Structure 1
Amino acid sequence: MMVVRRFLSASRYNMPSFRSRPVLLAIFGVCATVIWYLFFFQSNLKMADLKKVATSRYLSQEPSLSELMSNVKIKPIEETPVSPLELIPDIEISTRKKYDASWDLLFRGRKYKSFNDYDLHTKCEFYFQNLYNLNEDWTNNIRTFTFDINDVDTSTKIDALKDSDGVQLVDEKAIRLYKRTHNVALATERLRLYDKCFVNSPGSNPLKMDHLFRSNKKSKTTALDDEVTGNRDTFTKTKKTSFLSDMDTSSFQKYDQWDFEHRMFPMIPYFEEHNFTNVMPIFTGSNGGEPLPQGKFPVLDPKSGELLRVETFRYDKSKSLWKNWNDMSSASGKRGIILAAGDGQVDQCIRLIATLRAQGNALPIQIIHNNQLNEKSVKLLSEAAKSTEFSSGRAQSLWLVNVGPTLESSMKSNFGRFKNKWLSVIFNTFEEFIFIDTDAISYINMADYFNFKEYKSTGTLFFKDRSLAIGTEQKCGPLFETLEPRILEMYYFNTLPMINGDYVEQQCMGMLTPEEKVYKRFFEVGHQHNLESGLLAINKNEHIMGLVTATVLNIAPKVGGCGWGDKEFFWLGLLVAGQRYSIYDIDASAIGVPQQKQSIANGDEFDEYRICSLQVAHTSYDGHLLWINGGSQYCKKPETFEGDWTNIKELRESYSDDKEKALKAYSDTVKVEAAIVPDSRSNGWGRDDQRCKGYFWCGKFTSKLKPYTYNTVVTKGDLIRFGDEEIESISKINKIWNDAIIPDGA
């Protein structure tokens, strides 16, 4: 009261009399209430913060973030920053110092926020704007990629880099900086955050692309400044009140969203809103007519797969490239089957279409190609899809999709052979798709794969390959380990690795999930063959960035050899992208007629069954055949017969030197009675010779009486004998595939 009395006596008002003291107390109470309200409810400080003021992240004497991270083995933050994430810890420390020094108790919590106090949109703006501020020449071009690992023999190479006077031009630090600046891990980091910010943002509220790149030329503040200096906090803008607005955005303002998209995805030609139609695929229907004008796409009935109408695509510049692509896919077709083919695969495509017609498939089909189908091929495929002379089965809704315009011309050479498959999985226009190789055969309805529990769980369904004990290059495991989210990204953007590598390393196989088993086989055991990509199902709208990441990795020279063709990159791409995936937990098998023999090893008698086949087969949990890869012929490479006959003695002996009989057998339909799933823990697969270009593998199942027991049988592997009805069904489908021929004159 004395303080209030002195304040009022110094004013032009006289101190109220004792009789007015209740009024004075009321005024004082109101003032105290207002101050209390402003302090606790209008500032950014919460009651809980004040209760923990001694241990808060701003005022505590606990170790700083950089000190905490020093206990974890990461690169020192003092190194030249190459990622926007590496800017944050030092700025956080500076911000906390400003907070501590500020006397603005009411508003310092707003002015000096921690990075994690900002919403995702603001974090995304900070990251992508500072890509340009750190390096105006940044790019995701695969030709510039390297790895930040110790794989350079500096002792000899540095000495060679001298000028004419013998002066050393480079040292180990310069090489390390170059490797960090061009580290492929920076590209995978950008792709993950692009997905989180612009495609599959939490809450289905991606950052608007044109919002990120807007600029107000009349003001020196940027869109980022607007966000962090009051726009969302409803107080007057104060320039340079946040570490986010302290950043210089002059470099970033030179560029626009079209430059950004092209740097992110150099495999797609440069485009802008007005000419996006120039990079759209060209669609041709199976009615034999002319292709649709570029920029138009078919809208298909989600139930029948038939054409409903043709629409013109309008690029929405407020959305990212891949968000636009997902929107077009959702409008075009809900679910469908996709293939990758050129003129050389037309024969197999026709055989596949014949089996789909016989099974009454109702899913629409897209055959994706890169200017690789000529007019004759288009006519043959259209005939196979519709002709009643070719098949009495259901006509197919078939679309040929030419993605030649969608691919940067300088990148086309990177998509040869197996890698052509990536064009189909990222550039098809289905929301959900089943990819199938042209020489694969499904024995269940294709639409049924969408109903598998694995697919429903993660929007993906993958199958295992033969468990062959063939190793990868030693570098492959360490290379991929560097590509997963690092500590700064995990802390600030909450992008966590999908699999805990330390846990997997310590556990035995029996305790792991199917995905962890494959991870362990690749990263710890070093096996090259883990996933089979002849048939797989993916929700493209959910996993488009994982597929793009997989594509980039498979065509990158440094890691392209870490898997056989494209197979391993499906799960590795999703792993690196931080996306969940599912693998069917049954190992691949050999199919055919089992051959039995009795053997003795280490004094133990046992029964051994073997099946040798070209086909890689996949069975269900309840022992039925789902699908095979490799066609239904004994050998899908009949042109190898002459060489095989000359060089393989066992082949001649098995056919009693009857060459004509052997030649016919190479093209005959394979007989299927059973499947053998070899034991993945032992050497259950082997090859007797190199027939059919080395594609023949033998699967082994063994059974023996356990020593010193009366009737306990020990088995290795699984022998699955199919029932008569299933054998007949398999034989029928295999014969259709093998005998499919387009009528003369088609």
Structure 2
Amino acid sequence: MILSRSLRWRRQNARRVLLLALLGLLIVYLSHDNTPGRNATRPVIAGDYDNATSPYHGFFQGSTFKNDIGSKDSENILSNIRSASPQSPFALIAKHVGEDKFRRMAKSKKCQLLMKTVLEQGSGLDQSTLPISVEIMRIYAYCFLGDDPLYPWDMLDESTPEETLATTTRFTKLVFPFLETGDFDTQILWPLVYDLSQKGEYLEDLLLSVPELDGVIIQNNFNFWINWSQAASGRGVVITMGDNDVDMFGRLVRVLENLENDIPIQVVTTGKEMKPQFIQQLREYTVQTGQRIQLVDSSPMLDRLYVAFKITRFLNKWVATIFNTFEEAILIDVDSIPFVPLSTFFEIESYKTTGIYMYRDRDIKHEHAPEKCIADFRNLEPSVQETDLIGTSLRFDLSQSNDLQRQQQNGESITIEEVIYKNFFHNYNLHQVDSGLVVINKHKQLHSLLLAFQLHLSGVFEKCVHGDKEFFWLGPLLSGVDYTIDPLGSSVIGQFYEDNGKTGICAPQMSHLNDFDQLMWTNGGLKICKFKGAAANDFDKYPDFFTNRYSTVDNLDSIYNSPLAIEGAIVPDPESLPWMQTRECQQFRFCAYAVSDESGGNTVGKRVIFNPVDAAKYNEISFVWNNPAFVS
């Protein structure tokens, strides 16, 4: 027995020794293969990608590249790629190929190499690889979107159609993980669009028919985004909402009826909201108001598991933004209210130029984004070589400080986009844009919308920005496309009160005026406080404060449910009299102040008293929105 145990022990030890010896030999081999010689030169690194793997890393592996620039150059580059940390390929191009030689390559050849490299490297959406994912998105836009786009299947040299299908499917899933690719060759990526003005208990004929492709579905799916952009047509209103928002949507539709809206409204869903009761409620609003309401079910285009786990809350807004069928759309939150016909927004000249128009948020100076967040955004900037060799350029240099005061002293003009950029990237001010209403031309802005969606999906900036709003301008900025932000500061509407020589208005609504001091739209409903149960919540949180001021929950609840009376607006000067946040309405109530001289002229901030005709119209809209008899 002792000999038997000893023999087993010796055999087990022998196996361990053999395994350790083999492991040691493997380590020595790998170290020898991957370590550069003493005289090897490490390529210059362009850009800081932390420990992420660039899609360009390994850019020149494969026979295709050797045929283009020669075997000797290729082997030289490959040896450096094996030895160096992950880095931008453009540094490798500059050092080992030469920028001129790369520039002379045809775009199709560049994109073929880029696509293969993306497929080889792969990238997930997390903090360490987000710069690479953004880089991949810019590669995709350079090759397959915009003017004279290429087609992904033309970039492949697979030996069989089955291999081409598999590779293209993998590439699409890598870049756009939310797209459905399970049946890429048999199931067309196309939404179901229904006209809710039709009669019947449930959905009937499709409003937007699936395109006829002579059975070649795969041609649509292979280059889906350019086909989707080209299929977009017309103008419309776009909304996304959940079951709990149906009442608010009914109020908005009544306002649109009052404004004699004549453009269609699309409610875009991921399919999760497609319940008979939800659909029937929307249909009733169509019948009551005569508004053209269309329901877009985008589920045939989306990966169900991905949607279930990733597309929540504010992220649904990107689905609505991207998967509506309009060329030009007004994306509006269900609690935002226009005071002018919606077609007015399409006529803004700067919108026509850039294809996207946004409004400013409250300029709250004391709320800041963490410095790390801004550093992470800066890390998404393209390298110098990327800008030089494939033309990627941003409107502002994220790594450099812009001294606006110096520019102003020198008489240089300052755009509002530059002010917003500086406020965020150099002053770390958290709130810049109000996304309650955004005007978008999909043909011009599809790339930026996809990148904005990608940024939001990553979760990296969850604690850096509030919801979706800042991504509407950061997406275009990081895509290298132009964008427009309304130059006027946000305001508050309501009734004036006097406070120690200041004129103030306090309300939870954020409003937006035009150059003629007319009210364009407001965000936050048209009650004193839109949140259900807010009075009880406020008393629970600050019982002494609210008891001293409002006595009982019922008194406060009655106030909160009152319609907002609109007398005028105040546009504050936040440098002199900043916005003041109060405890009312679950701390969503803000006060703004202006100071006037004896003649009534504005000295600090701006007080706007609406003329009687405009005030009557605004209060009529408030009445329509608030009157429960108008909402089922």
SS at match of 1:492: helix
> How big is the shift at 1:725?
0.7
User: 2:339 & 2:228 partners in 1: Cα distance?
Assistant: 32
Are the aligned partners of 2:361 and 2:432 in contact in 1 as well (CA < 8 Å)?
A: yes
* Residues 270-323 of structure 1, C-alpha deviations (whole Å, 9 max, x = no match): 14553333x533323212444367xxx535xxxxxxxxxx45454461761211
User: 2:145 & 2:275 partners in 1: Cα distance?
Assistant: 35
Q: Which residue of 2 aligns with 1:63?
A: none
> How big is the shift at 1:617?
0.5
Q: Which residue of 2 aligns with 1:369?
A: 269
Are the aligned partners of 1:476 and 1:559 in contact in 2 as well (CA < 8 Å)?
A: yes
User: 1:716 & 1:85 partners in 2: Cα distance?
Assistant: 55
1:721 to 604, 609, 623: 609
User: 1:444 & 1:612 partners in 2: Cα distance?
Assistant: 23
SS at match of 1:324: helix
> How big is the shift at 1:582?
0.5
Q: Which residue of 2 aligns with 1:258?
A: 169
SS at match of 1:83: coil
2:223 to 311, 315, 320: 320
User: 1:718 & 1:543 partners in 2: Cα distance?
Assistant: 34
> How big is the shift at 1:325?
1.6
User: 1:385 & 1:489 partners in 2: Cα distance?
Assistant: 50
- Please give the TM-score of this superposition, normalised by the length of structure 1: 0.68
2:590 alignment partner AA:
W
* Residues 89-137 of structure 1, C-alpha deviations (whole Å, 9 max, x = no match): 99999779989xxxxxxxxxxxx9711012322221121122234x3xx
* Residues 557-585 of structure 1, C-alpha deviations (whole Å, 9 max, x = no match): 22222111111111112211222110000
Are the aligned partners of 1:384 and 1:742 in contact in 2 as well (CA < 8 Å)?
A: no
User: 2:547 & 2:586 partners in 1: Cα distance?
Assistant: 16
User: 1:668 & 1:714 partners in 2: Cα distance?
Assistant: 30
The percent of aligned pairs where both chains have the same amino acid is 25
420-429 or 723-732: which moved more? 420-429
User: 1:736 & 1:446 partners in 2: Cα distance?
Assistant: 17
Q: Which residue of 2 aligns with 1:462?
A: 358
SS at match of 1:317: helix
> How big is the shift at 1:704?
6.1
User: 2:316 & 2:172 partners in 1: Cα distance?
Assistant: 22
Q: Which residue of 1 aligns with 2:237?
A: 337
* Residues 27-73 of structure 1, C-alpha deviations (whole Å, 9 max, x = no match): xxxxxxxxxxxxxxxxxxxxxxxxxxxxxxxxxxxxxxx99x95x96
Aligned in 2, Cα 1:217/1:425: closer, same or farther, shift over 3 Å?
closer
SS at match of 1:400: strand
Are the aligned partners of 1:369 and 1:401 in contact in 2 as well (CA < 8 Å)?
A: yes
Q: Which residue of 2 aligns with 1:117?
A: 104
Equivalent residue pairs, number = 550
Aligned in 2, Cα 1:608/1:198: closer, same or farther, shift over 3 Å?
same
Q: Which residue of 1 aligns with 2:450?
A: 548
* Residues 675-734 of structure 1, C-alpha deviations (whole Å, 9 max, x = no match): 11111334510123x2211110111223469xxxxx998822211111111100000011
SS at match of 2:131: helix
Aligned in 2, Cα 1:682/1:648: closer, same or farther, shift over 3 Å?
farther
Q: Which residue of 1 aligns with 2:594?
A: 701
User: 1:685 & 1:722 partners in 2: Cα distance?
Assistant: 21
Are the aligned partners of 1:197 and 1:207 in contact in 2 as well (CA < 8 Å)?
A: yes
2:427 to 503, 512, 525: 525
User: 2:631 & 2:621 partners in 1: Cα distance?
Assistant: 19
Are the aligned partners of 1:462 and 1:584 in contact in 2 as well (CA < 8 Å)?
A: yes
SS at match of 1:275: coil
1:283 alignment partner AA:
V
Are the aligned partners of 1:426 and 1:544 in contact in 2 as well (CA < 8 Å)?
A: yes
Are the aligned partners of 1:633 and 1:668 in contact in 2 as well (CA < 8 Å)?
A: yes
> How big is the shift at 1:484?
2.0
User: 1:440 & 1:514 partners in 2: Cα distance?
Assistant: 23
Q: Which residue of 2 aligns with 1:441?
A: 337
SS at match of 2:463: helix
Runs of 5+ consecutive residues of structure 1 not aligned to the other structure: 1-65, 100-111, 148-182, 219-251, 300-309, 599-606, 706-710
> How big is the shift at 1:437?
0.6
User: 2:492 & 2:296 partners in 1: Cα distance?
Assistant: 34
2:525 to 631, 634, 656: 631
* Residues 644-668 of structure 1, C-alpha deviations (whole Å, 9 max, x = no match): 346355655555x476554322111
- Please give the TM-score of this superposition, normalised by the length of structure 2: 0.79
User: 2:468 & 2:299 partners in 1: Cα distance?
Assistant: 20
Aligned in 2, Cα 1:741/1:487: closer, same or farther, shift over 3 Å?
farther
Q: Which residue of 2 aligns with 1:386?
A: 287
User: 1:622 & 1:127 partners in 2: Cα distance?
Assistant: 50
Are the aligned partners of 1:684 and 1:699 in contact in 2 as well (CA < 8 Å)?
A: yes
Are the aligned partners of 2:165 and 2:185 in contact in 1 as well (CA < 8 Å)?
A: no
User: 1:525 & 1:113 partners in 2: Cα distance?
Assistant: 39
1:188 to 130, 134, 144: 134
User: 2:333 & 2:383 partners in 1: Cα distance?
Assistant: 36
Aligned in 2, Cα 1:263/1:658: closer, same or farther, shift over 3 Å?
closer
- Say if 2:307 is the partner of 1:406: no
Are the aligned partners of 1:342 and 1:373 in contact in 2 as well (CA < 8 Å)?
A: no
Q: What is the correspondence of 1:174-213 to structure 2 with a 5 Å cutoff?
A: 183-200=129-146, 204-213=147-156
Q: Which residue of 2 aligns with 1:298?
A: 207
2:627 alignment partner AA:
D
User: 1:419 & 1:660 partners in 2: Cα distance?
Assistant: 36
1:417 to 313, 320, 324: 313
User: 2:530 & 2:73 partners in 1: Cα distance?
Assistant: 72
1:489 alignment partner AA:
E
1:550 alignment partner AA:
A
Higher RCO, 1 vs 2 (CA within 8 Å, ≥6 residues apart): 2
Runs of 5+ consecutive residues of structure 2 not aligned to the other structure: 1-40, 75-98
Are the aligned partners of 1:343 and 1:374 in contact in 2 as well (CA < 8 Å)?
A: no
Q: Which residue of 2 aligns with 1:346?
A: 246
1:644 alignment partner AA:
D
Q: Which residue of 1 aligns with 2:322?
A: 426
Aligned in 2, Cα 1:88/1:495: closer, same or farther, shift over 3 Å?
farther
Are the aligned partners of 1:458 and 1:581 in contact in 2 as well (CA < 8 Å)?
A: yes
Q: Which residue of 2 aligns with 1:450?
A: 346
1:477 alignment partner AA:
I
> How big is the shift at 1:539?
0.7
User: 1:500 & 1:532 partners in 2: Cα distance?
Assistant: 24
1:639 alignment partner AA:
G
Aligned in 2, Cα 1:338/1:96: closer, same or farther, shift over 3 Å?
same
Which is higher, the Rg of structure 1 or of structure 2? 1
Q: What is the correspondence of 1:75-114 to structure 2 with a 5 Å cutoff?
A: 82-84=54-56, 87=59, 114=101
User: 1:264 & 1:502 partners in 2: Cα distance?
Assistant: 26
Aligned in 2, Cα 1:650/1:84: closer, same or farther, shift over 3 Å?
closer
User: 1:503 & 1:725 partners in 2: Cα distance?
Assistant: 49
Are the aligned partners of 1:687 and 1:697 in contact in 2 as well (CA < 8 Å)?
A: yes
Aligned in 2, Cα 1:253/1:743: closer, same or farther, shift over 3 Å?
closer
